[in-house]
Structure 1
Amino acid sequence: MSNKSERLKDEGSRLQVTAAGATAGLISRFIIAPLDVVKIRLQLQTHSLSDPLTHSPRGGPIYKGTLPTIRHILRTEGITALWKGNVPAELLYVAHNAVQFTTYRQVTLLLHSTFGEGTIPASGESFIAGAVAGGTATAVTYPLDLLRTRFAAQGNARVYTNMREAILRIGREEGLRGYFQGLGPGLAQIIPFMGVFFAVYETLRPHFSKLELPFSSGGALAGTIASVTAKSVTFPLDLVRKRIQVQGPTRDKYFQIMPEYKGAINTARTIVRKDGYRGLYRGLTVSLVKAAPASAVTMWTYERALRFYIALGERTVL
């Protein structure tokens, strides 16, 4: 049996890979949605004591760590608030994963046909395919990412009542560029993130595949380690992207982020100047807590969904 037939990314038709990626994104997103809301709130919160919207009457920040933030949201906004932005986020994760896995497979096959299978080291091949796949998926689905952030960030004072209103108002008030605010740092983050993720994942998966774990598989464990590694390396760019995404005419309805951020470099410099380098990693803990189950669920579901669709296709043919 050739190495090509043994690697999951080379199995199945394009439609089956796309469907498996979409299924994985849908399930993964719903499970980790509350942690995503918490992460976004922490990333957008400044620690300036002059900001009344991000601090309690006693002067401390409203959001202090993962569990206290969850308790605060439950107490002040109700349990459904933990899934704010879930509709655009579900669409984002489904579309992003479908495009990502499909592109990853096609780029891998292209590398094989161009340079020959096995010519490029597996880690290098995975880095290239992962970077291209991540960048493509991010660019295509970015407006949904922006909508997810804005809905997750709004508290009891609602900025947008539904997706239709948000789409129309952003287009009317901010123009086409409004849907892509923060795309630069988004691409700057996702390309190395997905490159590192798939490189680590494909390196570890063969060694972990035979592990028998009580609540997981070796592939899920490899996905978890890969995600934590990639997230830690690229997190500052994710925080910069979130700050830029809520800029515009509705900015002061979310958080009083002062001064107004203009561009990725300016945003990073402003954060460092006001909060130090530590400010670039605000929300990293919950991000890592989120990244582990999200990636584990995504890769575990993707592999099994792909096998299901392949088996379904074989039964249909028969």
Structure 2
Amino acid sequence: MSAGGEHLKDEGSRRQVILAGGTAGLISRFCIAPLDVVKIRLQLQIHSLSDPASHRTVVGPVYKGTLSTMASIMRQEGITGLWKGNVPAEMMYVCYGALQFTAYRTTTQALSQLGHRLPPSDLLRTRFAAQGPERVYKSLYSSIVDISRNEGPRGFFRGCSAAVAQIVPYMGLFFTAYENLRPTMAQWEYLPFGTGDAAAGVVASVMAKTGVFPLDLVRKRLQVQGPTRTKYVHRNIPEYDGVVRSIAMILRTQGVRGLYRGLTVSLFKAAPASAVTMFTYERALKFIQEMEVARCEA
């Protein structure tokens, strides 16, 4: 583990780390929410961007690129459209931040990935982000009731198999890239994100995310299956069943490029998310510690 990792592991009490980690997750999620909504919209889009003829059969918008998609959402749904699904996502990221830094502090960094997805919150985030001007669910509560009534408990875990399948290859790719990059980058000066360790982590994260991105895309496609499948902003999402069959269907109908829809915006999201998370965590932890010291001295 890097020197930066050891520093985080030994710093602060468990309570302080949980509070700082939750705060970091809350703030970083709010900052990257628009990019996440754009990513999900692009991942759910199945028609070819290079074939204008295919657009005639599309029911719903046709998105092209990160900035134009963002502009289209703002024009059609208002600026709040860029934060659709943010409430369940905030719940997920607060838990993720707390679990991530607690696991990082008490065991190893690898353990943080075991709790990094809360399937029901992740599914709700995807479904709310996939809603267009016509709302499928009126509120978070109504979405839970609706899914429970019409899809049963299993409905909350759609795409969970793809999420689990991401963990091992992601961690393998991340640590292989990180351990090879860190010794060199730690010696470079004037790097962004503060240190060579942090910069190496960002680069490794981008490489690992690229490697497992097809599974992330399949997870999103599986999460919008069910009775509401044709009600989202993309009305022509096909029926998918299972990770392997979904990948095979996408390859057959959309080619290899179909497995990487939304990759660019996903990578744009990875670097600032890591930077904001670490920046906020360090300062939140320091603030919490200073407050507790001041309280004890009072």
- Could you say which TM-score interval applies, normalised by the shorter chain? 0.7 to 0.9
Range that drifts further, 46-55 or 239-248: 46-55
Per-residue displacement from partner, 1:12-47 (whole Å, max 9, x unpaired)?
A: 221111112111111111111111100000000011
Distance 2:176 2:21 in 1: 18
* Cα shift readout 1:114-150 (whole Å, capped 9, x = no counterpart): xxxxxxxxxxxxxxx42x3212232xx2211110000
Instruction: State the partner residue of 2:51.
Output: none
Give me the whole-angstrom Cα distance separating, in 2, the residues matched to 1:95 and 1:266.
Answer: 31
Q: Which residue identity lines up with residue 81 of structure 2 in the other structure?
A: A
Once residues 231 and 5 of structure 1 are traced to their aligned partners in structure 2, the CA distance between those partners, rounded to angstroms, is 20
**Aligned equivalent of 2:126:** 149
Q: Distance in 1 between matches of 2:73 and 2:238?
A: 26
Aligned-residue CA RMSD in angstroms? 2.6
| TM-aligned CA deviation for residue 271 of structure 1 | 0.5
Identity %: 57
Partner of 2:226: 248
- Residue in structure 2 matching 1:164, options 133, 141, 145: 141
After superposition, the Cα gap between the structure-2 partners of 1:181 and 1:5, relative to the gap in structure 1 and judged at 3 Å, is closer
| Distance in 2, Cα, partners of 1:286 & 1:142 | 22
What is the deviation of 1:95?
A: 1.0
8 A contact 1:46–1:54 mirrored in 2: no
Secondary structure, in 3 states, of the residue corresponding to 1:192? Answer: helix
How many matched pairs?
Answer: 287
1:233 aligns with 2:217: no
Counterpart of 1:295 in structure 2 is 274
Cα distance in 2 between the residues matched to 1:34 and 1:235? 19
TM-score by length of 1: 0.81
Tell me, in whole angstroms, the C-alpha distance in 1 between the residues paired with 2:172 and 2:13.
Answer: 23
The offset of 1:220, in angstroms, is: 4.5
1:285 counterpart = 2:264: yes
Does 2:152 align with 1:175? yes
Other-structure match for 1:69: 69
Q: What is aligned with 1:306? A: 285
Q: Give the TM-score of the pair, scaled to structure 2.
A: 0.87
Q: Kindly provide the amino acid, as one letter, of the partner of residue 155 in structure 1.
A: G
Read off the aligned partner of 1:188 and give its amino acid letter: A
Query: In 2, Cα distance between the equivalents of 1:32 and 1:7?
Result: 26
C-alpha separation in 2, matches of 1:8 and 1:102:
9
C-alpha change, 1:82 and 1:258, in structure 2 (3 Å) is: closer
Give 5+ residue unaligned stretches, structure 2: 49-53
Q: Which of 114, 119, 128 is matched with 1:135 structurally? A: 114
Cα deviation per residue 1:52-106 (whole Å; 9 max; x = unaligned)?
2245xxxxxx100001101111111111101111111111111111122222333
**Separation (CA, whole Å) in 1 of partners of 2:12 and 2:182:** 19
**Residues 253-290 of structure 1: CA deviation (Å, up to 9, x unaligned):** 01344541001111111111101111111110010011
CA gap of 1:78–1:137, structure 2 versus 1, over 3 A, is same
Distance, in Å, in 2 between the alignment partners of 1:31 and 1:309 is 22
Contact preservation (8 Å) 1:223, 1:296: no
Does structure 1 retain, via aligned residues, the 8 Å contact 2:40–2:130? Answer: yes
What residue ranges of structure 1 are gaps of 5+ in the alignment? 56-61, 109-128
1:80 aligns to 2:86 (yes or no): no
